[in-house]
Amino acid sequence: MRQINKKLIVSDFDGTLLTGGQIIPDEVRSAINEYVSCGGIFAVCTGRMLRSILPRVRELGLKGLVVAYQGTVIAEIESGKIIKKGAIDYSSAAEVCGYIELLKGSENLAYGINAYSEEVLYTDIPKDNEHLKVYERITGVDAESTGVKMSGFIFQNKLGCQKIACLVPPEHRERLYFNLLEKFRGKFDITCSAQVLVEVSPLSDNKGEALKFIASHYGVSMDSTVAIGDNLNDLPMIKEAGIGVAVGNAVQGLKDAADIVTVSNNDGAVAKIIEKYGFR
Q: What is the mean pLDDT of residues 191-205?
A: 90
DSSP 2: P
DSSP output for 143-171: PEE-SS-HHHHHHHHT--BSEEEEE--GG
CA 16 – CA 11 distance, rounded (Å)? 7
| For residue 274, pLDDT beyond 60 | yes
Taking a C-beta distance cutoff of 8 angstroms, is the pair 75, 82 a contact?
yes
Predicted confidence (pLDDT) per residue in 71-100, tens digit: 999 999 999 999 999 999 999 999 999 999
Taking a C-beta distance cutoff of 8 angstroms, is the pair 88, 73 a contact?
no
pTM of the model: 0.94
Predicted confidence (pLDDT) per residue in 212-251, tens digit: 999 999 999 999 999 999 999 999 999 999 999 999 999 9
CA 200 – CA 109 distance, rounded (Å)? 19
| For residue 263, pLDDT beyond 80 | yes
244 sits in the region (left: phi over 0; alpha: psi -120 to 50; else beta) called beta
Provide the pLDDT confidence category of residue 106 given band limits of 50, 70 and 90. low
CA 9 – CA 45 distance, rounded (Å)? 10
| For residue 190, pLDDT beyond 60 | yes
| For residue 120, pLDDT beyond 70 | yes
